[in-house]
Amino acid sequence: MTIAATAPVRKIPVTVITGFLGAGKTTLLRNLLSQAHGRRIAVVVNEFGALGIDGETLRSCGIEGCPDEDIVELTNGCLCCTVADDFLPTMRTLIDRPEPPEHIVIETSGLALPKPLLKAFGWPDIRTRMTVDGVITLVDTPAVAEGRFADDPEAIAAQQAQDPSLDHDNPLSEVFEDQLLSADLVVLNKTDLLSEDALEKVEAEITSLLPRKRVMLRAVEGKLDPAVLLGLDAGAEDDLAARPSHHDGADEHEHDDFESFALSVPEQAGAEAFVKRLSDVAAKFDVLRLKGFAAVKGKSLRLAVQGVGTRMRHAFDVPLAGADRTGRIVVIGKKGLDRAGIEAALQEG
Ligand SMILES: Nc1nc2c(ncn2[C@@H]2O[C@H](COP(=O)(O)OP(=O)(O)OP(=O)(O)O)[C@@H](O)[C@H]2O)c(=O)[nH]1
């Protein structure tokens, strides 16, 4: 009797793109998809805040060979907290398709901790069919240079006197570091905004935070060759011990250091004035991230706006859907945002 040899099933490689709010994950993904050249890449996008701006940005990119059904949005909380409820069923649906994707790319929310997500790839029915090809951590290089993720040693000492289990005073630094600690590849993005000197300082700072030597690349608008980003072959699900997390040992974690809400904004008289007002709001209310769109008088295209800290970008992108000229803006910040104050500041047309 002969026993037929069964060919090993090829595991679908999965790339995880992580990085703090506004580091440039969606921008990198758009670039990657535009260079897919017929390769079937499915994208899973997760956002903090329920408006789904990132999925929309990717869908409206008009990239040929990138059908809408290949972009799956998970807006129901942070991936790392909803792994069993949302994430695993989504992944199973993707790989059970008659023509499964050749590669899956997951864009995590800017506040997600990668480790719980990586652990999910150890689930029995998932680990036989998928492997984590690599974790790419995007760094908002100017934000690091500005010290946005830095701890204040005095504040930590004061906090630890109250609660010795604390090791950070800045919730941003904890998320930022966890994302770095999981990386196979670190991309220093937005290098157009920094001098060579400043860049070298950030590189040294990131190197000192990494638990082991990692490839670090510089990028503008996340523009990197897909051959560099895909095919890292890291098998990260088998390598979790080398990816420490501030939450190792804890059964649960929460994102209650941060909050998000969406606001309606009336039609605007002019684009520049609106964007200036958004930037002023970000400065005054210490907003981490603003994104959405507004209608502007006399324009049939909507004004898409993106803010990271006080740095804003805007563009008229796609026609407004229907006759409704109300805009929507997502606001993300540390817990305790003055929602009423922000809402009032954005009610002018
Ligand atoms: N100057 C500059 N801006 C960039 C670069 N890459 C991205 N941006 C801008 O940074 C802003 C945020 O970029 P996104 O790609 O939306 O960032 P993200 O990480 O997906 O954001 P979240 O999903 O909200 O965490 C946008 O306005 C981008 O146009 C870059 O290399 N240089």
More confident residue, 73 or 22: 22
Does 61 sit in the ligand 1 pocket, CB within 6 Å? no
pLDDT confidence tier of residue 48, bands split at 50, 70 and 90: confident
| Separation of CA 330 and ligand 1 centre (Å) | 15
Give 171's Cβ-side CA count (13 Å radius). Answer: 16
The closest of 303, 259, 316 to 277, measured between CA atoms, is: 303
Tokens of 292: 């959405």
Alpha-carbon span 223 to 221, nearest angstrom: 5
> What pLDDT is stored for residue 84 in this prediction?
72
> What pLDDT is stored for residue 82 in this prediction?
72
Residues 273 and 223 in one domain: no
171 class by beta-carbon count within 10 Å (0-12 exposed, 13-18 middle, 19+ buried): middle
Nearest CA to ligand 1 atom 13: 24
Tokens of 230: 């895909």
C-alpha torsion angle, residues 192, 197, 203, 209 (rounded to 10): -120
The three-class DSSP label of residue 24 is: coil
Residues 157 and 272 in one domain: no
Does 315 sit in the ligand 1 pocket, CB within 6 Å? no
Q: Which atom of ligand 1 is nearest to the CA of 220?
A: 31
309: left (phi over 0), alpha (psi -120 to 50) or beta: left
Q: Which atom of ligand 1 is nearest to the CA of 332?
A: 24
Could you write out the DSSP letters of every residue in 189-221?
E-GGGS-HHHHHHHHHHHHHH-SS--EEEE-ST
User: Could you tell me what percent of the chain has a pLDDT over 90?
Assistant: 62
- Nearby residues of 35 by Cβ (< 8 Å), 6 or more positions away: 225, 226
What pTM, to 2 d.p., does this model score? 0.90
More confident residue, 239 or 251: 239
Residues 235 and 328 in one domain: no
> What pLDDT is stored for residue 13 in this prediction?
97
Does 309 sit in the ligand 1 pocket, CB within 6 Å? no
| Separation of CA 192 and ligand 1 centre (Å) | 12
Tokens of 197: 């000197």
Does 313 sit in the ligand 1 pocket, CB within 6 Å? yes
| Separation of CA 26 and ligand 1 centre (Å) | 7
Nearest CA to ligand 1 atom 26: 306
Residue 156 belongs to some domain of the structure:
yes
User: Which tens digits make up the pLDDT trace of 80-127?
Assistant: 677 777 888 889 999 999 999 999 999 999 998 899 899 999 988 899
Report, as an integer, the average pLDDT of 224-242: 94
Residue 4 clears pLDDT 60, i.e. is over it: no
Residues 153 and 102 in one domain: yes
Under 8 Å between Cβ of 292 and 317: no
> What pLDDT is stored for residue 169 in this prediction?
64
pLDDT confidence tier of residue 62, bands split at 50, 70 and 90: low
Q: Which CATH number do you get for residue 316?
A: 3.30.1220.10
Does 317 sit in the ligand 1 pocket, CB within 6 Å? no
Q: Which atom of ligand 1 is nearest to the CA of 307?
A: 27
> What pLDDT is stored for residue 73 in this prediction?
80
> What pLDDT is stored for residue 60 in this prediction?
63
> What pLDDT is stored for residue 88 in this prediction?
86
Residue 2 clears pLDDT 60, i.e. is over it: no
pLDDT confidence tier of residue 336, bands split at 50, 70 and 90: very high
Residue 313 belongs to some domain of the structure:
yes
| Separation of CA 297 and ligand 1 centre (Å) | 27
- Domain of 334 in residue numbering reads as 258-345
Q: How many residues in total does the chain contain?
A: 349
Alpha-carbon span 206 to 212, nearest angstrom: 11
Residues 234 and 266 in one domain: no
Does 282 sit in the ligand 1 pocket, CB within 6 Å? no
Mean pLDDT of the chain, nearest integer: 88
| Separation of CA 252 and ligand 1 centre (Å) | 29
Q: Give the number of domains in the chain.
A: 2
Alpha-carbon span 342 to 282, nearest angstrom: 9
User: Which of 26, 27, 53 should be mutated for ligand 1, with most atoms under 8 A from CB?
Assistant: 27
Residues 29 and 60 in one domain: yes
More confident residue, 9 or 109: 109
Under 8 Å between Cβ of 273 and 349: no
Under 8 Å between Cβ of 106 and 118: no
The tokens 């050249």 sit on which residue?
Answer: 37
User: Which of 189, 308, 310 should be mutated for ligand 1, with most atoms under 8 A from CB?
Assistant: 308
ipTM for the predicted complex: 0.99
User: Which tens digits make up the pLDDT trace of 150-200?
Assistant: 876 676 677 667 766 666 667 889 899 999 999 999 999 999 999 999 999
Residues 175 and 263 in one domain: no
Residues 184 and 307 in one domain: no
Residue 32 clears pLDDT 80, i.e. is over it: yes
User: Could you tell me what percent of the chain has a pLDDT over 70?
Assistant: 85
Report, as an integer, the average pLDDT of 51-65: 65
Residues 212 and 338 in one domain: no
Q: Which CATH number do you get for residue 59?
A: 3.40.50.300
Please give the distance of CA 21 from its chain centroid, rounded to a whole number: 6
Amino acid at position 212, single letter: R
> What pLDDT is stored for residue 322 in this prediction?
83
- Nearby residues of 89 by Cβ (< 8 Å), 6 or more positions away: none
